[in-house]
Structure 1
Amino acid sequence: MGTDSASSGDDLRLFHTGEHPCGYWPERTARDLVLDPRDPRLPKFYPTALGWGFRRSGDLVYRPHCQHCQACVAVRIPVHDFRPDRGQRRCAARNAHIESRIVAAERNEEHFALYRRYLAARHRHGGMDDHSPLEFDQFLIGSWSQGRFLELRDRSDDGHGKLVAVAVTDVVPGALSAVYTFYDPDYEANGLGTLAILRQLEWAQREYRSHLYLGYWIDGHRKMDYKRRYHPLEWFDGREWRRDTLPQRG
């Protein structure tokens, strides 16, 4: 990686990666802007970076910066203006027996077993399905994030409650950021991905946080286009957050 620029007068270094396979479109290559992962100030700067359209994966804070593609658009939900649509209300009602609990972002055997089951079902032969416990920690927790795990448990299963989903969530001043969600493949019909976002929004509302960051929306992508269903939805145009019609980008 080579140094690209300094960030708005701050001396935190910003790197531009080389080309690598795109994680969303297999026929494309991608490049990212990455904040210096060795800088001890990164945890403090991370909330500001979220507001600039960046995202966290492990200890890396990055933003797509592809030469011929602008498909990835950073989006967030203004928490106190959010109104669920009919489908989201049905999802919440259908899963009334699913209880949520916020716990420390620390791997245990239950979390890891669920994660492996999810990857085997959703990402078979995709390079992630053989993740080890160390890779779980590196990808979902990292060494400095102020994250939490939002556990979803089926209380109708037994007294303890079967773990059916985990939403990895970063907690920053004034906001939450949805990092990654994995769930039990047997509960596919329950819409646990949607439920996790609804429960994260409830969490943010309880704590008077202004936004829930959802990462990147990609127009027309079967795994990323769902984010347009949350209203209102703000998107980052590279300079400011907007609440008008989402852009069509290829």
Structure 2
Amino acid sequence: MSELANLKLYATAEHPCSYLKDQQASTIFIDPAANLDVNVYSALSELGFRRSGGHIYRPHCADCAACISVRVPVQAFALTRTHKRCLKRNSDLTITSTAHPNIDEHYALYERYIHARHSDGDMYPPNRQQYIDFLNNPLGCTHYIEMRKQGKLIGCAVSDRLSNGLSAIYTYFCPTQTTRSLGRFAILHQIQKAQNLGLPYLYLGYWIRNCQKMTYKSEYQPFEKLIDRQWVLGAS
């Protein structure tokens, strides 16, 4: 696409990697002033880029290539027994999707989630503006998939609709609802949603073989990895 060839790229300075100990990381990102649309964003996803707020980025580390883009070809996806149990456990939830969530309600849940699950991560301590900046999308293709129990918000999967699939941006949920496996349920729901929409892929972001925090992504089989600019079926 000619639009991609004209895009300007910028690189961050090296900084400590959030996932691998003693590694330095760097990121390239698309010029924030570029006039992007969903089609260009979709094409960039094919090249391994992700979205965080208004920034489209991908890892660009000098001495490491551990971060690998992965996606699920949803029509070939096969539910395991674990997946079926997860869907059954959450069959009592009401699932709705909105582009305009109640920020007060959602931020309160996000704040609880970060404090309980990610107090050692880059997003700690959370604050309201950080939450808005992290998930806000000026392209207008973002949906907040709300999971409610008797009207109460207990989970949310933030998902971008691309021309070639859905992109799972982030999931946050009530940290006391441990038996529901809401993180797993969120991915399964997005796979089913992509299937129903006739979209071929669910993009899961980056996967690192030796990172415990990312091993869950390989349970959604088959999955594809972006290797040398080619999507290939991967094994965990």
The answer, yes or no, to whether TM exceeds 0.5 is yes
Match of 1:172 among 137, 142, 162: 162
Structure-1 separation of matches of 2:187 and 2:226: 20
Kept in 2, the 8 Å contact 1:53–1:238? The answer is no
Shift of 1:122: 1.1
Structure-2 separation of matches of 1:99 and 1:78: 26
Shift of 1:110: 1.0
Q: How does 1:116-155 map to 2 (within 5 A)?
A: 116-124=111-119, 126-154=121-149
TM-score of the superposed pair, with normalisation by structure 2: 0.93
Kept in 2, the 8 Å contact 1:74–1:235? The answer is yes
Task: Look up the match of 1:221.
Answer: 211
SS of equivalent residue, structure 1 residue 41: coil
Q: How does 1:67-146 map to 2 (within 5 A)?
A: 67-124=62-119, 126-146=121-141
SS of equivalent residue, structure 2 residue 204: strand
Task: Look up the match of 1:3.
Answer: none
Kept in 1, the 8 Å contact 2:4–2:40? The answer is no
Q: Report whether the alignment pairs 1:62 with 2:52.
A: no
Q: Assess, with a 3 A threshold, how the Cα gap between structure 1 residues 83 and 144 changes in structure 2: closer, same or farther.
A: same
TM-score of the superposed pair, with normalisation by structure 1: 0.88
Q: Report whether the alignment pairs 1:204 with 2:208.
A: no
Structure-2 separation of matches of 1:43 and 1:36: 15
Q: Assess, with a 3 A threshold, how the Cα gap between structure 1 residues 168 and 82 changes in structure 2: closer, same or farther.
A: same
Structure-1 separation of matches of 2:156 and 2:82: 21
Structure-1 separation of matches of 2:28 and 2:100: 26
Structure-2 separation of matches of 1:125 and 1:75: 25
Q: Deviations over 1:147-206 (max 9, x none)?
A: 00011112xxx3xx2211110100111310000000100112211000000111111111
Shift of 1:240: 1.1
Structure-2 separation of matches of 1:42 and 1:101: 25
Shift of 1:145: 4.3
Task: Look up the match of 1:52.
Answer: 47
Q: CA RMSD in A?
A: 1.8
Structure-1 separation of matches of 2:18 and 2:227: 21
Structure-2 separation of matches of 1:94 and 1:220: 30
Structure-2 separation of matches of 1:145 and 1:66: 30
Task: Look up the match of 1:16.
Answer: 11
Kept in 1, the 8 Å contact 2:18–2:122? The answer is no
Kept in 2, the 8 Å contact 1:105–1:141? The answer is no
Q: Deviations over 1:45-98 (max 9, x none)?
A: 211000001100111111111111111110000111111111111111122212
Q: Assess, with a 3 A threshold, how the Cα gap between structure 1 residues 98 and 66 changes in structure 2: closer, same or farther.
A: same
Percent identity between the aligned chains? 38
Structure 1: runs of 5+ lacking an equivalent: 1-6
Q: Report whether the alignment pairs 1:182 with 2:177.
A: no
Name the aligned partner's letter for residue 50 of structure 1: S
